[in-house]
Amino acid sequence: MGSFYSTSHRDRHNRRLAMTTLTGYAQAIAKATKRTDPHELRLIEDCMRHDIFHSTLDWQTLKQFNRGAREAVKVLKETGELK
């Protein structure tokens, strides 16, 4: 049975839903990087923890956190893990 919604409509809906259901650091990372894909946000958070700060994220100031998120995107682009 076919779907009422087009694929592009479903994709937009899923992205909006993902943004409204993000928890923890994902919302802050999304705001700092303008990225919305939950998988990408998990990759960025992991990179921030293990490659950028080598630590947990809770002790970072907002400025440091945002800068770290953007730096993680650069690292992941360089390694080909993000487009």
Q: Do the beta carbons of residue 29 and residue 69 sit within 8 Å? A: yes
Which pLDDT tens digit goes with each residue over 42-52? 999 999 999 99
SS3 45: helix
Domain spans of the chain, in order of start: 24-78
Distances 59 to 3, 37, 53, 63, 65 between C-alpha atoms, Å: 46, 25, 10, 12, 9
Each residue's pLDDT, cut to its tens digit, for the chain (83 residues) gives 444 444 565 555 555 555 556 668 999 999 999 999 999 999 999 999 999 998 888 889 999 999 999 999 999 999 999 98
